[in-house]
Chain A
């Protein structure tokens, strides 16, 4: 298992600077009294399928928002593909795709209109946007509902149209916040296939999740976040270590044991009332 410091230090020492998709140094964010992100140092390698895992409230969304330029950090620097997000946003924004969680899209547009709109905001030529939009809608199984308003979409459809918007300009790094939350198995499989094809071409995917089985089956590199700090980062096997599963390793890292429900609910059993 790799602790936070050594891996980053090693990589820096080995002169692997250009290999990093994301490089974060002493990143802090406070909301009033609460410290959401408490000095994160993190280096995410390029060309990997990276999972950012942690319990609810660990600071995953805050961290991703600061990486993608949606939330200004109190302190610290973020580099994506070698460019500073906060001093050189123009270059970074055209190279990344984002699917935030909890933020709405322009829901009174139809799926097709939303894609066209996003493509035009990104400065893509209209013909190219049309071609890419049609293919994305087709691959994601949204062709049948492309003229329906996004406000009427189900959760799975929303995530898929959000993913299509994030992929439209062919970004180098894709950031997804809980892309599988509330998504049915069929849609999840579709999203998965698209993401796997995307990383196979050398692009980087960074996604957050609290579902360990999913991260274990998808990612080859993970960072564990708890209470605003990085608890571990590195290739999946290293972080998992000797534990039987990522879930077990994670619970151990976060410091939780699951045996305290044994005695208190002894009446629960479905037999007598």
Chain B
């Protein structure tokens, strides 16, 4: 571990030490606290321990491989570029990650220490030391050391590399803490928690972007990055590595300036962090602040939306469903995922020249799934629906409202995706039949989704990343897998008709499938909703109990 961690020192011994001494006893206490928290967290469950150990092994393996790669890079023409940019990317990661994973480290939440008589300066020092304990800093250290080895040429450069590596590591850690402390209001507020739910998606998209850029670089060559590296080598903490390189080249003045820049950055970050902590510890936390400023503008938009929708229960259910797509973080994450995957799969397949027009059905498939577990999405707020439904007629209106809200988004989107895919793949003569299949599939999913929402509801926990409450995963499995199988079965007449048309050489008649699929989908939806409504009306208390768990 990179930390100066005297794990044998007990907190009690330090507290009892000389208080007036310049060397504050707080640092070992905080480091010990961090280690205890880590240990106790792992003690809670074997599963967690296994996951942690596995992640340590993976991270270490990755770090060692990177280290070996960087060492091997030594002497290569692009060593400087890669080393400098790698540290810059690491620093960026440190700056961004605390925004998405705010609860990672309890020792870093200054509001937990607010009752203790601590001075800001020793506190920041102690917290900085504590935040050096962990997998993240270790991983960073490995990469920074690797970069330094790849860059350092000559004794002078090697000598400078030691403080440079330490400075770079400290700047990374201090940057993360300064950003987290400055944004703790956001992170403890409702909006911050909403943000966290979307983080998985952002990371997934980020990986795609990185993947894409890496492929581009692979074809264009690393030389493209040299101008960027020339700038980045002056920006802390990459400037620390820049200093090692400059001194290796004999540019001692540049090297000194770059090292000084890194040091100044560290001091500034620590100063900002200390200020944030002092301010945080003496002001109310996010939960007591008025989180909503922009409420006024919303009113007008709502009225406009409402005017276009039908009167009564049908319109009310549609309106609320549509509002929740945008406003509820879990629902939003599910929708954004479905919309993205529904577009990416057919389009990327088409771009790689391996695609088929039929992949366009993915869009309506992914969006149709949103009809599943409708009431789980409501959570315990379902009681409002339950107290106002007393007959199958009202249940039907409720289900119809939700299905129509879904159709309002899905049909245009699926049509658009099908058009785009066809444009990329070619073969416009197949467009009508793919559209027909899409609509048929959507109808089947809406029908089975409505029925399984009423028959197999399960709870979606509000907080965290899980989409199924503990103990209900079997139920969720039945609901989704069974529903998919039933939908596929429901679609089989359409699929059969498509196959028959092509096999019998009557491919020119493919357009028949458009009206046929649309009709079939509509009929399936209508019948499905009518079958689901009495089931929902009968099972209201059971549904409420099921979706209130967790």
Asked if chains A and B come from one complex, the reply is yes
User: Which A residues are within 8 Å of any B CB, using their own CB?
Assistant: 68-72, 89-94, 96, 98, 100, 102-110, 112-113, 116-118, 120-123, 126, 145, 147-149, 151-152, 165
Contacts of A117 in B (CB 8 A): 316, 319-320, 384
B550 to chain A, nearest CB (A): 13
Q: Which of B190, B320, B378, B541 contacts A152 (CB 8 A)?
A: B190
Knowing A70-B383, A109-B323 touch, does A147 contact B388 (C-beta < 8 A)?
no
Q: Quick check: B381 and A147 within 8 Å, CB to CB?
A: no
CB-CB under 8 A for A69 and B320, given A106-B381, A108-B327, A110-B295: no
Selected contact of A148 from candidates B292, B317, B541, CB within 8 Å: B292
- Supposing A103-B381, A108-B327 touch, asked if A72 and B390 sit within 8 A by C-beta, the answer is no
Q: Mark B365-387, 1 if CB is under 8 A from A, else 0.
A: 00000000000001111011111
Interface size on B, residues (CB 8 A): 41
How far is B55's CA from A112's CA once the two chains are assembled, in angstroms? Answer: 48
Known: A103-B381, A117-B316, A147-B295. 18 other contacts (CB 8 A): A68-B387, A69-B541, A91-B390, A92-B390, A94-B390, A96-B387, A98-B383, A100-B383, A103-B380, A108-B327, A110-B299, A110-B302, A121-B313, A121-B316, A122-B388, A148-B292, A148-B295, A149-B292
The reply to whether A121 and B541 contact each other, CB–CB distance below 8 Å, is: no
Q: What is the CB-to-nearest-CB distance from A267 to chain B, in angstroms, rounded to a whole number?
A: 23
Task: Tell me how far the C-beta of B382 lies from the nearest C-beta in chain A, rounded to whole angstroms.
Answer: 8
Q: In the bound complex, do residue B190 and residue A151 qualify as a contact, i.e. CB atoms below 8 Å apart? A: yes
Contact among B190, B298, B390 with A93 in the assembled complex (CB-CB below 8 Å)? B390
Please list 15 pairs of residues, one from A and one from B, whose beta carbons are closer than 8 Å in the complex, sorted by A's number: A68-B387, A69-B541, A71-B545, A93-B388, A93-B390, A103-B381, A103-B548, A108-B323, A108-B327, A110-B298, A116-B316, A121-B313, A121-B384, A121-B388, A152-B291
Q: Are B387 and A147 in contact (CB under 8 A)?
A: no
Which has the most chain B C-beta neighbours within 10 Å: A98, A116, A117?
A117
Chain B residues lying within 8 Å of A100, measured Cβ to Cβ, are 383
Once the chains are docked, how many angstroms separate the CA of A148 from the CA of B294?
8
Q: Are A149 and B541 in contact (CB under 8 A)?
A: no
A126 proximity list for chain B (CB < 8 A): 311
Interface, chain B (partner A; CB < 8 A): 190, 290-292, 295-296, 298-299, 302, 306, 311-313, 315-317, 319-320, 323-324, 327-328, 378-381, 383-391, 540-542, 544-545, 548
Question: In the bound complex, do residue B385 and residue A121 qualify as a contact, i.e. CB atoms below 8 Å apart?
Answer: yes
Q: How far is the CB of B419 from chain A (nearest CB, A)?
A: 33
Q: Main SS of the interface on chain A?
A: mixed
Complex alpha-carbon distance, A231 and B295, angstroms: 48
Interface of B is mostly: helix
Cβ contact of A147, chosen from B298, B315, B389, cutoff 8 A? B298
A84 to B548, CA, bound (A): 25
Tell me which residues across on chain B come within 8 A of A94, comparing CB atoms.
390
Contact A106 B384, CB 8 Å, known A113-B302, A147-B298: yes
Whether A104 pairs with B380 at a CB distance below 8 angstroms is yes
B299 pairs with A104, CB closer than 8 A? no
CA gap between A112 and B319 in the complex, in Å: 14
**Residues in chain A near residue B302, CB distance under 8 A:** 110, 113
Measured in the bound complex, the distance between the Cα atoms of B299 and A94 in whole Å is 29
Q: Which of A104, A110, A123 contacts B381 (CB 8 A)?
A: A104
B295 touches A72 (CB 8 A): no
Docked CA distance A193–B458 (Å): 40
What residues of A have a CB within 8 angstroms of the CB of B292 in the complex?
A: 148-149, 152
The 5 closest A-B pairs by CB, nearest first: A120-B316, A90-B390, A108-B327, A147-B295, A121-B388
- The winner among B316, B324, B387, B391 for most chain A CB atoms within 10 A is B387
Q: How far is the CB of A115 from chain B (nearest CB, A)?
A: 11
Q: B296 contacts which of A118, A147, A149 (Cβ < 8 Å)? A: A147
Q: Across the interface, which residues of A come within 8 angstroms of B317, CB to CB?
A: 121
Chain B residue nearest to A102 (CB atoms) is B380
A134 CB, nearest partner CB in chain B, Å? 13
Q: CA of A117 to CA of B312 in the docked complex: distance in angstroms?
A: 9
Given A106-B381, A108-B327, A109-B323, A70 contacting B316 (CB threshold 8 A): no
Least CB separation from A113: chain B residue: B302
Q: Which residue of A lies closest to B544 (CB)?
A: A70
Q: Report the Cα distance A148→B316, complex, angstroms.
A: 19
Q: Is the CB of B548 within 8 A of A93?
A: no
**Do residues A118 and B384 form an inter-chain contact, with CB atoms below 8 A?**
yes
Distance, CA A104 to CA B385, complexed state (A): 12
What are the residues of chain B within 8 A of A109 when measuring CB–CB? 320, 323, 327
Q: Are B541 and A72 in contact (CB under 8 A)?
A: yes
Which residues of chain A have C-beta atoms less than 8 A from B291's C-beta? 152
- Kindly state the separation between the CA atoms of A149 and B194 in the bound complex, as whole angstroms: 14
Kindly list chain A residues whose C-beta atoms are within 8 Å of the C-beta of B388: 93, 118, 121-122
Residues of A within 8 A of B389 (CB): 93
Cα distance, A100 to B327, chains bound together (Å): 24
Q: Could you tell me if B190 and A106 are in contact, using CB atoms closer than 8 angstroms? A: no
Q: Is the CB of B327 within 8 A of A149?
A: yes
- Give the nearest-CB partner of A147 in chain B: B295
Known: A89-B390, A108-B328, A149-B295. A69 touches B540 (CB 8 A): yes
Select which of A69, A106, A113, A147 is within 8 A of B378 by beta carbon. A106
**Assembled-state Cα–Cα distance A106/B381 (Å):** 6
Task: Give the chain A neighbours of B320 by CB distance below 8 A.
Answer: 106, 109, 117
Whether B387 and A69, one on each chain, are in contact in the complex, defined by CB atoms closer than 8 angstroms, is yes
In the docked arrangement, what's the CA distance between A126 and B390, Å?
Answer: 21
Query: Complex: how many Å from CA A151 to CA B291?
Result: 10
